[in-house]
């Protein structure tokens, strides 16, 4: 398996479940285990992942000064192959920003705003959904990262499909609640349907129960439901509800860099570490 870049994308057709938080924390957790990790933010121009990792304002300045070209939306353009012929590897390395937390990041860009519509204009479905995959195969894999994690929007569109196509492995954060439970079921059916339609396999690689308060009966019941429904993909431990995570997010860091973590933040760190180890096992097995 050495030398292969593992890939996974965080997705659920629902906002606010913790996709971005999960990508940030699993990224740091994989780095802690000695992997070199690249994160890619496809989740929209608001740049949540950049904010979470404390690099948003710097990148905002670049965008305002018109220095953010090429950017993540450029790699989907027809012109990308011309750009890379001209700039070589620098076209891709120029997209990457180092974060203070370990993982590198290709941040979101306002160009993502119109990307869904632009992709929609491509008639051929293989072509429409394969742009990101081609970019990763041809330009990112040669950079030698051990793992690439992709943050996706909380809705199904052409950008999302590019992420799923490229990664073939999905990380699903789930919150307690009947709606969330149904969404996770629906996703499993969707992935199967996509796989059959396009003759590719997209696997549920990790289901990570998030924002769990085990003092609540309902939360404990949903934990059991998730374990029963997703026996192969369920994370070893859930991520607790933690005010520290919310605060850390807002101050542009992960729970791993808190100086004085609360009990729930400590627990969250341990959960992300065990989840990242499980993810690594599953993706490595598949790549063999
Ligand atoms: N375990 C947790 N405990 C407490 N708050 C959390 C936890 N996980 C995530 N949050 C908070 O929940 C909110 C939504 O999380 P996040 O942005 O990661 O969700 P998302 O699925 O990426 O949302 P969107 O669909 O809008 O992109 C954030 O304010 C985040 O700090
Ligand atoms: Mg998000």
The most distant pair of C-alpha atoms in the chain lies apart, rounded to whole Å, by 60
Q: Answer yes or no: is the C-beta of 18 below 6 A from any ligand 1 atom.
A: yes
Determine the atom of ligand 1 nearest the C-alpha atom of 12: 21
- Does 268 score more than 90 pLDDT? yes
Q: Answer yes or no: is the C-beta of 183 below 6 A from any ligand 1 atom.
A: no
> What is the model's pLDDT at position 186?
87
Minimum CA distance residue for ligand 1 atom 30: 246
pLDDT in tens, 139-191: 999 999 999 999 999 999 999 999 999 999 999 999 998 787 888 888 889 88
Task: Tell which one of 23, 249, 264 to mutate to probe ligand 1, the residue whose CB is within 8 A of the most ligand atoms.
Answer: 249
Determine the atom of ligand 1 nearest the C-alpha atom of 211: 1
Query: What does the pLDDT average to over 14-22?
Result: 95
- Does 130 score more than 80 pLDDT? yes
Query: What does the pLDDT average to over 109-134?
Result: 96
Instruction: Write down all domains in the chain, each with its CATH number in brackets.
Output: 6-287 (3.40.50.300)
Mean pLDDT for all residues in the chain: 94
Q: Is the pLDDT higher at 218 or at 195? A: 218
Q: Answer yes or no: is the C-beta of 20 below 6 A from any ligand 1 atom.
A: yes
* Element housing 104 (H / E): strand 104-106
Using left for φ > 0, alpha for ψ between -120 and 50, and beta otherwise, residue 127 falls in alpha
- 3-state SS class at 210: coil
- Does 2 score more than 70 pLDDT? no
pLDDT in tens, 54-77: 999 999 999 999 889 999 999 999
Task: Tell which one of 15, 16, 23, 254 to mutate to probe ligand 1, the residue whose CB is within 8 A of the most ligand atoms.
Answer: 16
Question: How far away, in angstroms, is 22 Cα from ligand 1 center?
Answer: 8
Which ligand gives the minimal distance to the CA of 250?
1
- 3-state SS class at 231: coil
> What is the model's pLDDT at position 3?
61
Q: Answer yes or no: is the C-beta of 44 below 6 A from any ligand 1 atom.
A: no
Q: Answer yes or no: is the C-beta of 3 below 6 A from any ligand 1 atom.
A: no
pLDDT in tens, 181-209: 888 888 889 888 888 888 888 999 999 99
- Residue from 50, 65, 57 nearest 96 by CA: 50
Q: Answer yes or no: is the C-beta of 128 below 6 A from any ligand 1 atom.
A: no
Q: What percent of the chain has pLDDT over 70?
A: 99
Q: Answer yes or no: is the C-beta of 16 below 6 A from any ligand 1 atom.
A: yes
For the chain, the first-to-last Cα distance in angstroms comes to: 6
- Residue position matching structure tokens 């953010």: 68
Minimum CA distance residue for ligand 1 atom 5: 246
From CA 65, how far away is CA 257, in angstroms rounded?
A: 30
């Amino acid at each position: 398996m050495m030398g292969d870049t593992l890939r996974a994308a965080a997705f659920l057709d629902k906002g606010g479940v913790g996709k971005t938080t999960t990508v940030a924390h699993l990224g740091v957790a994989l780095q802690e285990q000695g992997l070199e990790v690249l994160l890619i933010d496809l989740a929209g121009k608001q740049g949540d992942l950049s904010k979470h990792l404390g690099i948003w304002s710097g990148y905002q300045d670049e965008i305002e000064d018109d220095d953010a070209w090429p950017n993540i939306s450029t790699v989907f353009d027809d012109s990308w192959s011309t750009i890379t012929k001209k700039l070589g590897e620098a076209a891709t390395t120029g997209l990457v920003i180092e974060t203070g937390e370990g993982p590198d990041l290709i941040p979101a860009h306002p160009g993502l705003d119109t990307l869904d519509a632009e992709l929609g204009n491509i008639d051929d479905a293989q072509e429409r959904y394969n742009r990101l995959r081609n970019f990763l195969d041809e330009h990112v894999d040669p950079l030698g990262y051990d793992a690439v994690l992709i943050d996706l929007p909380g809705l199904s569109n052409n950008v999302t499909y590019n992420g799923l196509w490229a990664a073939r492995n999905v990380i699903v954060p789930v919150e307690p609640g009947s709606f969330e439970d149904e969404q996770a079921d629906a996703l499993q059916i969707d992935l199967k349907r996509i796989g059959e339609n396009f003759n590719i396999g997209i696997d549920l690689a990790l289901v990570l129960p998030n924002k769990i308060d085990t003092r609540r009966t309902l939360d404990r019941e949903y934990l059991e439901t998730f374990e029963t429904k997703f026996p192969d993909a369920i994370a070893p431990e859930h991520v607790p509800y933690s005010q520290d995570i919310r605060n850390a997010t807002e101050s542009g860091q992960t729970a791993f860099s808190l100086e004085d973590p609360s009990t729930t933040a400590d627990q969250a760190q341990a959960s992300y570490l065990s989840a990242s180890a499980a993810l690594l096992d599953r993706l490595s097995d598949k790549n063999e």
